Amino acid sequence: MCGKISFCLLVSLLLTVSLAAPHDHEDHSADHHQHLHHGKDEPHPSHDGDDDLSSRLTPHNADFAFSLYKKLAGLPDVQGKNIFFSPLSISMALSMLALGAKGETHSQIFSSLGYSALTPDQVNEGYEHLFHMLGHSQDTMLLEAGSAVAVREGFKPLDKFLKDAQHYYQGEAFSVDFSKPEVAVQEVNKYIAKKTKDMITDMVKELDPDTMMMLINYMYFRGKWKIPFKTGRTTKADFHVDEKTNVTVDMMGNTGFYKFYDDRSNFSSIIMVPYKGKASMMIVLPDEGKMQDVEKNINKEHLKYWCDRLQRSYVDLFMPKFSTSSAFSLADTMKEMGIVDAFSGTADFTGITEAKNMKVSKVLHQAVLKVDEEGTHAAAATTIEMVLMALPTMPLPMKLNRPFLTFIVDHSTESILFMGKITNPTA
């Protein structure tokens, strides 16, 4: 109870999306503390105010995540398909781009990200702190985020840009021979494959021979379910893609205690499936035929509304075992969201090079999700047997046998790391 109260308080203080199971929050502030003072050799720039630094970004990043989701879900070639992306990775990459942008180019990027009321210092320090918090992998959970600046051989960006990219965005700089596009494609893809542990191996398909520089952001997450699914319980079952289509999936099953809320007035069931460590997969399962209503209206307030109502419940959870990947070319979507000058002749990236001749040509995003009995992209297997407690009457059913929304959330920073819609697990 106490944990719940401090949790709510914390959430309202931070003005953020509340994304965690209350029992994970009893030690939340203690954990924050631990994170902040956990041994890094170099002294961290500030201490007492650290909590505010990245939490200042959180509500804006959540708003950006939902506006972007709505744009992506509306794209013609995405209809009826799965969507999976990392809103945080996109926010990070654009914020790093903003380091080099000036004037209107800069304000458009900031305003699309929702940072208009923040100073560049506040944003940069927020990310510095966020990278620092995310970088603490725990025994069973691995979360890695970082950036890179790939620079054309012979081109020299301003020192300040490279220094800031490195300092605030954990960006490493390396040179690439962009004058040989085939070679450059391979080099860049090799770098991304290494950072994503071979989950994304073919990110860039082709490069313009005029490419001067490429900004890269990556995020890698591996979590093991706090309660693993027993492989023996996985069976073939129907997944109702739409009125006309059923597909057969490997349906995993588990009966146990989860944070759960059945929201009849909004035609959805919500469950928080925790990983070992400080992250969960939050799932929103709209009733049959209600996905469009829910995805049209969903925003960070709804997520908070649901989180506040989650209750420890005895649940019969059925979740498909699946993997999915999405690739997006985001330039048009970014323009629709207000980042226009960055792509045009009026682009001002004089923070990267004094010559006023750089613009953005493409923004690509790719994300891969693998869900199985052990967790989410589980590379090694560990099973913890748990004794059964005295069980209440009937478990509540939660059968993900129709399209659902999924969010991978990090509790230490309250960030939406990944989000998506699974329309067809076999696609």
Ligand X SMILES: *[C@@H]1O[C@H](CO)[C@@H](O)[C@H](O)[C@H]1NC(C)=O
Print the binding letters for residues 243-262 with ligand X: x by CB under 6 A, - otherwise.
-x-x----------------
State in angstroms the smallest separation of the CB of 150 from ligand X.
41
Q: Which of these, 361, 332, 335, 357, lies nearest to 346 by C-alpha position?
A: 357
Please name the residue that has the structure tokens 């790719």.
366
State in angstroms the smallest separation of the CB of 307 from ligand X.
12
Coil vs helix vs strand at 320: strand
- The span of 147-155, 173-181, 297-305, 313-321 binding ligand X (CB under 6 A) equals 297-305
305 lines the binding site for ligand X (CB under 6 A): yes
Closest residue to ligand X using C-beta atoms: 302
Coil vs helix vs strand at 129: helix
314 lines the binding site for ligand X (CB under 6 A): no
Residue 25, C-beta contacts closer than 8 angstroms, at least 6 positions apart: 3, 4, 6, 7, 10, 411
Quick one: 86 or 266, whose CB is closer to ligand X? 266
* Rounded Cα gap, residues 255 and 267, in angstroms: 23
Contact 295, 73 (CB under 8 A): yes
- The string of DSSP letters for 75-98 reads -GGGTTS-EEE-HHHHHHHHHHHH
Residue of the chain from 209, 265, 393, 394 that contacts ligand X (CB under 6 A): 265
State in angstroms the smallest separation of the CB of 305 from ligand X.
6
State in angstroms the smallest separation of the CB of 282 from ligand X.
13
Quick one: 99 or 284, whose CB is closer to ligand X? 284
- The span of 96-104, 160-168, 186-194, 236-244 binding ligand X (CB under 6 A) equals 236-244
Quick one: 3 or 253, whose CB is closer to ligand X? 253
Residue of the chain from 28, 35, 226, 302 that contacts ligand X (CB under 6 A): 302
Residue of the chain from 266, 324, 350, 366 that contacts ligand X (CB under 6 A): 266
* Rounded Cα gap, residues 23 and 242, in angstroms: 36
State in angstroms the smallest separation of the CB of 302 from ligand X.
3
Residue of the chain from 238, 379, 381, 386 that contacts ligand X (CB under 6 A): 238
Q: Helices 2-14 & 28-37, crossing angle to 10 degrees? A: 60
Helix, strand, coil percentages, rounded to 5, for the chain: 35, 30, 35
Q: Are strands 396-399 and 311-329 parallel, antiparallel or unpaired?
A: parallel
Quick one: 172 or 301, whose CB is closer to ligand X? 301
* Rounded Cα gap, residues 23 and 57, in angstroms: 25
State in angstroms the smallest separation of the CB of 86 from ligand X.
23
195 lines the binding site for ligand X (CB under 6 A): no
* Rounded Cα gap, residues 82 and 93, in angstroms: 23
Helix (H) or strand (E) holding 214: strand 213-224
- The span of 54-62, 165-173, 240-248, 253-261 binding ligand X (CB under 6 A) equals 240-248
Other beta carbons less than 10 A from residue 13's beta carbon: 11
State in angstroms the smallest separation of the CB of 367 from ligand X.
24
208 lines the binding site for ligand X (CB under 6 A): no
Residue of the chain from 46, 297, 344, 383 that contacts ligand X (CB under 6 A): 297
- The span of 38-46, 237-245, 317-325, 347-355 binding ligand X (CB under 6 A) equals 237-245
Q: Are strands 213-224 and 142-152 parallel, antiparallel or unpaired?
A: antiparallel
Task: Characterise 212 by phi-psi region: left (phi > 0), alpha (psi -120 to 50), beta (else).
Answer: alpha
Please name the residue that has the structure tokens 């099953």.
253
240 lines the binding site for ligand X (CB under 6 A): yes
Quick one: 62 or 334, whose CB is closer to ligand X? 62
List residues near ligand X by CB under 6 A. 238, 240, 244, 246, 265-266, 297, 302, 305
